[in-house]
Structure 1
Amino acid sequence: MTLQTAERPRLSTPARIPRTGRGEKNKVSRWQIWVPLGLYLVFTLVPFYWMLVFAFRPRGSSSLLPWPITFDNFAVVWNDLGFAIFFQNSLMVGVASLFMTTVIALAGGYALARYDFRGKKLFMMGMLCTQFIPGAMMLIPLFEIFRTFGLVNSLWSLVIAETVFQLPLSLILISGFIRNVPVELEQAAWVDGCGRLRGFFAVVLPLLRPALVAVGSFAFIHSWNNFLFALMFVSDQEKFTVPVGLSYTLGEFSVDFGALAAGGVVAAVPVVLVFAFIQRYLVQGMSAGAVKG
């Protein structure tokens, strides 16, 4: 008798999936990143390029490059149009708004973060709702208040208005950041003999640097760029700010593009410098303040 061996079933080998080379995959991902980023940069930087071209090229020139470079437009803006005074006024308003917003938001944010009181959630909701009110709707009430207290045609009216409109977001941001600071650190300082105020300055305040930089920078930049309040509350030319001064380069029948572009460069320099020095603190402050709250 012959034994027949059962044939083993043959397993079919799966078809190999063609692999994409690592270089080709990276090439596709690079295109997907750099093409939209390049288009965005072109769309963003072209207006700045034309502003620099009009600011630095001679009057009457139609060259696409600012050559030969001239500073005549800046001399006209700074000396003839009085931008030196406008720049000083904007700087005073911006620094004062920065200081007042930061100090008040720091005190209020600590109270919201460390104390529980009746109506706290309602208060926070009211602060958030104020962000939906445009500034133009508050012009008449603010003007009446400033006229009652004799603050019309004063730089203090701009400082107060900017501080009021910046406080809600600043309070929420700083309160959220303080919640991330463990309260045990303050309690340890209290055990060592520090009071609440001294413990706050010794323990909590050094950890709030990113939040303070974020709040202060937003307050400064918003007050520096604000045009509506400065136009409505100030009528004396010696108290104009930079945005209002820029509007006076627009004539009734003609526009001095060189002076307008030079004024735009002067107005943009402080904002660019602020963002260049505080960008890492700004990201830390915004991310830390948005974690809790």
Structure 2
Amino acid sequence: MTAALVEEGALVPSAAVPRSGRSGRRGRGPTDGPPHWQIYLPLGLYLLFTLVPFYWMLLFAVRPDGSTSLLPWPATGAHFDKVWNDRSFGIFFQNSMLVGVATLVLTTVVALSGGYALARFRFKGRTAFLIALLCSQFVPGALMLVPLFQIFRHLQLINSLWSVVISETVFQLPLSVILLSGFIRGIPEALEEAAWVDGCTRLRAFFAVVLPMLRPGLVAVGSFAFVHSWNHFLFALMFLSEQDKQTIPVGLNTLIGADSVDLGALAAGGVIAAVPVVIVFAFIQKWLITGFSAGAVKG
């Protein structure tokens, strides 16, 4: 009987039936994606192109003067001691940190209120306001230097760190408001309405329901504001003339002389300037990517 079934095709030995997902010839299917080398080779080249300048900067920062070694050994900390103590980089670092933290706080608070208003309220001129925010991103900061200088001069804020903080906050707000507005639109309004039914005011519902869900967006906006204010050179150069009020980007510029450049000191100053930014991105990269993608897509 078994032989008859085999002849009729009703019973086929398992060895004769090809398993699902296998074929007689091993190979990559059309949906398997490109080979691994086509992914890792471009990424490796890009990583090499990105890291070589940083390695070169670190090499000059720790290599003794006159050395031509391509390895950071023997290492020396003389360049760091020189820029931190003799070139006042300790003061520059403190000023940059104050400007960065203050810009972060102001930008986040103002952008949070503006983004919530754009996301939850419908008012006349809302679309025109959004268009104005977008168009303001095309205005370079250099065009605003003279008006800002006149304003700060009348307010007696020249040579004050607050002039840089206010300038950085103003130029960070349009993008920050747009990002947070898009992120808030992705939060269901029914959650706030449920809190209102339970007796919460709009403000209390915002702090209890909306704000905890805005963590990725707040991290994205705050980190972007901090990094931009930390690296920005133009406003600090124009509004701060006293050495004890200058920031790290301006301090790096003072290391470049008219006839010569101290490469070791300049590289050490660059390492000092890069370390806080690297630490910030190392800790917040997950929330940063989530916040930017949510703020740009949702709504």
TM > 0.5 fold call: yes
Q: Find runs of 4+ consecutive structure 1 residues off by over 6 angstroms.
A: 25-28
2:48 equivalent to 1:42? yes
Task: Tell me if 1:67 matches 2:73.
Answer: yes
SS at match of 2:157: coil
Q: What number of residue pairs does the alignment pair up?
A: 276
Amino-acid identity (%) = 69
Q: Deviations over 1:129-158 (max 9, x none)?
A: 000011111111111111111111110000
| Corresponding residue to 2:107 among 101, 107, 111 | 101
Amino acid at match of 1:280: K
Counterpart position of 1:9: none
List aligned pairs for 1:15-34, cutoff 5 A. Answer: 21-22=27-28, 29-34=35-40
Q: Kindly provide the amino acid, as one letter, of the partner of residue 266 in structure 1.
A: I
Q: Helix, strand or coil: the match of 2:129? A: helix
Give the Cα separation in 2 of the matches to 1:120 and 1:83: 45
Deviation at 1:21, TM superposition (A): 2.9
Aligned residue number for residue 231 of structure 2: 225
Where 1:290 maps in the other structure, the secondary structure is helix
One-letter amino acid of the structure 2 residue matched with residue 90 of structure 1: S
Compared with structure 1, are the counterparts of its residues 18 and 278 closer, same or farther at alpha carbon in structure 2 (3 Å cutoff)?
same
Q: In structure 2, what is the equivalent of residue 138 of structure 1?
A: 144
Give TM-score scaled by structure 1 length.
Answer: 0.91
Give the aligned partner of residue 91 of structure 1. Answer: 97
Consecutive unaligned residues in structure 1, runs of 5 or more: 1-16
Any unmatched runs of 5+ in structure 2?
Answer: 1-22
Correspondence for 2:208: 202
Once superposed, what is the RMSD of the aligned Cα atoms?
A: 1.8
More deviation in 247-256 or 122-131? 247-256
Instruction: Return the match for 1:119 from 125, 129, 135.
Output: 125
In 2, distance between residues paired with 1:28 and 1:102? 42
Aligned equivalents of 2:26, 2:134: Cα separation in 1: 51
Match of 1:149 in 2: 155
For 1:49 and 1:121, the matched residues in 2 are separated by 47
Aligned-partner SS, 2:214: helix
User: What displacement does 1:27 show?
Assistant: 11
Tell me by how many angstroms 1:292 deviates. 2.9
Aligned partner of residue 76 in structure 1, secondary structure: helix
Task: Measure, in 2, the Cα distance between the counterparts of 1:264 and 1:26.
Answer: 44
**Structure 2-normalised TM-score?**
0.89
